Amino acid sequence: MNPLQARQLVIDIPGRGDGEALNFAVEPGQIWGVLGPNGAGKTTLLHTLAGLREPRRGSVCLGKHPLADLKRRTISQQLGLVFQERQDGFPATVLETALIGRHPWLSPWQMESGADERLARRALEQLDVGHLSARLVNTLSGGERQRVAIATVLTQAPDTWLLDEPTNHLDLHHQVSVLQLLTEQARSGRSVFMCLHDLNLAARWCDHLLLLYPNGEACWGPAERMLVPAALERLYDQELLTVEVDGAPLFVPVKY
């Protein structure tokens, strides 16, 4: 499995200067969390890493190969993306939607096999939406649609997961189950790179963090080095209290 690498990467945010060039590698088995306030560039970074946006400078590589040199089908076999918001282009059932995850592995005009359908059904069961397989996606709640989106990437089986707010719309139980699933993916040798708004979820589940500041500054590294109150308070412009629960730090905003 190839690491996903940012090499002297400057993301393109209109109206903002270049900011700091990013140089990091998301290695197999790692779980990265991206933290930052609204407008810091988290989604733009994720889309750039997926090859959906051109960087202002630098490059994104899969192993030794720049994304720009790879065919889209090859990229789709290695990178799976869960968007923060999605549009339903046409009416489709939950099962049909999950089967889209197999498309990078099929030749043109090839139909999904029974094995593909079994993969999709298993993924839907893992995300607790198997009982909805015949429902149209546009009739689902926000949380159900989010779990179908994650099941679609699970069906795709990429080496690297890129997720924009994967716990968005989810209740507490499903937040934990999704993060546990992503942990299991990392333990199997895949890698996870996700944007999060919840600092405490990042502190509990991520082993590496990337902090994106609104002015273009950034810092990254192992989570224990990044979870420094002074850096986090500057990141969010918010004073924090820190306690430890079950061996992990818990950050609580100070009430003024």
Q: What is the pLDDT of residue 249?
A: 87
pLDDT digits (tens, 9 = 90+) for 66-81: 999 999 999 999 999 9
pLDDT digits (tens, 9 = 90+) for 123-134: 999 999 999 999
Residues in the chain: 256
Query: Average of pLDDT values for 34-49?
Result: 94
Q: What is the pLDDT of residue 88?
A: 65
Q: How confident is the model at residue 19 (pLDDT cuts 50, 70, 90)?
A: confident
- Please determine, for residue 142, whether its predicted confidence score (pLDDT) is greater than 80: yes
The CA-atom distances, in angstroms, between 155 and each of 2, 30, 102, 118 are 19, 20, 6, 9
Longest dimension (CA), the chain: 61
Q: What is the pLDDT of residue 87?
A: 66
Q: What is the pTM of this model?
A: 0.94
Q: What is the pLDDT of residue 84?
A: 83
pLDDT digits (tens, 9 = 90+) for 156-203: 999 999 999 999 999 999 999 999 999 999 999 999 999 999 999 999
Query: Average of pLDDT values for 13-34?
Result: 92
CA angle at residue 175 from 174 to 179, to 5 degrees? 110
pLDDT digits (tens, 9 = 90+) for 92-101: 999 999 999 9
Per DSSP, the residues of 111-176 read: PP-HHHHHHHHHHHHHTT-GGGTTSBGGGS-HHHHHHHHHHHHHHH--SEEEEESTTTT--HHHHH
Q: How confident is the model at residue 2 (pLDDT cuts 50, 70, 90)?
A: confident
Q: What is the pLDDT of residue 108?
A: 83
- Please determine, for residue 33, whether its predicted confidence score (pLDDT) is greater than 80: yes
The rounded distance, in Å, linking the Cα atoms of 17 and 112 is: 46
Query: Average of pLDDT values for 227-231?
Result: 93
- Please determine, for residue 89, whether its predicted confidence score (pLDDT) is greater than 70: no
For the chain, the average pLDDT equals: 93
- Please determine, for residue 50, whether its predicted confidence score (pLDDT) is greater than 90: yes
Tokens of 53: 């946006």
Other C-beta atoms lying within 10 Å of the C-beta of residue 249: 19
Q: What is the pLDDT of residue 25?
A: 97
Query: Average of pLDDT values for 110-137?
Result: 96
Query: Average of pLDDT values for 230-246?
Result: 92
- Domains in the chain, start-ordered, CATH in brackets? 4-253 (3.40.50.300)
